[in-house]
């Protein structure tokens, strides 16, 4: 996947003040960032467990539990950002984890 600047827009809770964004140099890095958010949440919930595992369904539940989540990906051919929804993000995180598992 080409290095396309990617901005993740998210709102974890219903309070609008929780809106935030993260930006990454590529789609893969953005998906790693979303997985990292979930992994940090798991570590916060299980501080004494040094070996935390999860499956794709757990990650999807985390993603679905966010009030809002979307991505803006820079498309060089039109020199603009294209918006993508939660389902697109879920598919890309799956693709990323599958790729990591195969290496």
Q: Are 27 and 4 a contacting pair, CB within 8 Å? A: yes
- What is the predicted pLDDT for the residue at 2? 60
- What is the predicted pLDDT for the residue at 41? 93
Residue 93 lies in a domain: yes
Residue 1 lies in a domain: no
| Number of structural domains found in the chain | 1
Q: pLDDT tens for residues 18-29?
A: 999 999 999 999
Average pLDDT over residues 80-103: 94
Of 5, 52, 44, give the one whose Cα is nearest residue 24: 5
Tell me, what CATH number does 71's domain have? 3.30.2260.10
Query: Can you give the pTM of this predicted structure?
Result: 0.89
Coil, helix or strand at residue 19: coil
51 or 29: which leads in pLDDT: 29
């Amino acid at each position: 996947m080409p290095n396309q600047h990617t901005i993740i827009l998210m709102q974890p809770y219903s309070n609008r003040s929780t809106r935030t964004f993260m930006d990454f140099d590529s789609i893969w890095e953005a998906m790693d960032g979303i997985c990292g958010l979930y992994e940090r949440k798991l570590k916060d919930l299980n501080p004494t467990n040094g070996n935390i595992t999860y499956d794709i369904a757990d990650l999807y539940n985390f993603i679905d539990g966010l009030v809002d989540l979307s991505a803006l990906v820079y498309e060089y051919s039109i020199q603009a950002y294209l918006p993508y929804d939660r389902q697109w993000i879920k598919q890309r995180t799956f693709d990323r984890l599958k790729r990591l598992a195969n290496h």
